[in-house]
Amino acid sequence: ARVREAREAARGEVNFDWDVGEFEQTMRMEFDENWNAAEFNAAPYVPGFNIQPPGGSKEDEGSVLDAHKDWLMRVGNIPNDEVFNESKRVALEQFQHYKRMDEKERVRAGASPISGDFLAERASLTEEVDGISSDSPMYAFAVKAVDALDGNAGWSHDRKIRALRFLASRAEKYGAAEETGATQV
């Protein structure tokens, strides 16, 4: 019976006493986020509220808030300078607190201490094997290991660093064994 009802509804033989398109439009306006896109796109960059511009913000957080004080006061319905300064103080304290929490969590999870700069992160991996001389037989392997680990999203940064340190220590032992003439490491 339900299949028959569904087929009848799909053919359009059922008459509704309301317009489906009008209902959907009204519900979108009622329940979706109804932002003024033009106003938000014209808004200045405020750290933590929208996408950071390429290259990052070179200003400290307090000067950014001061530079956009008029806009923040208008959008935030802030009545006077005293309330703005108090809100700014609280916001900067909370921002520093959350920044410290994020850094602690990154350390706990073994994530890279470098955020948003993949070239600097790769350089930090390369630094771990810089001590291996280019004359060493393990040098080419170390370069390939850095390439492989840099492209491996499955390993945490901490695990990559530990693997490269292990490789560097083995290369050092291998080099020391070659200098003394030993055959086994």
Alpha helix stretches (DSSP H) within the chain: 2-11, 20-31, 37-42, 61-67, 69-75, 81-109, 118-128, 139-150, 157-180
pLDDT digits over 117-173, tens only? Answer: 788 889 999 999 998 888 888 899 999 999 999 988 889 999 999 999 999 999 888
Both tokens assigned to 43: 């808004």
Using pLDDT thresholds of 50, 70 and 90, give the confidence band for residue 17. Answer: low
- In the predicted structure, residue 182 carries a pLDDT above the cut 60: no
- In the predicted structure, residue 58 carries a pLDDT above the cut 80: no
Residue 76's identity, in one-letter code, is G
Contacts of 100 (CB under 8 A, 6+ apart): none
d(CA 55, CA 73): 27
Are residues 43 and 75 in contact, defined by beta-carbon separation less than 8 angstroms?
Answer: yes
d(CA 62, CA 90): 11
Token match 């560097």: residue? 168
Residue 122's identity, in one-letter code, is R
State the average pLDDT over residues 83-91. Answer: 94
Are residues 132 and 171 in contact, defined by beta-carbon separation less than 8 angstroms?
Answer: yes
Give helix 139-150 / helix 157-180 axis angle, nearest 10°. Answer: 180
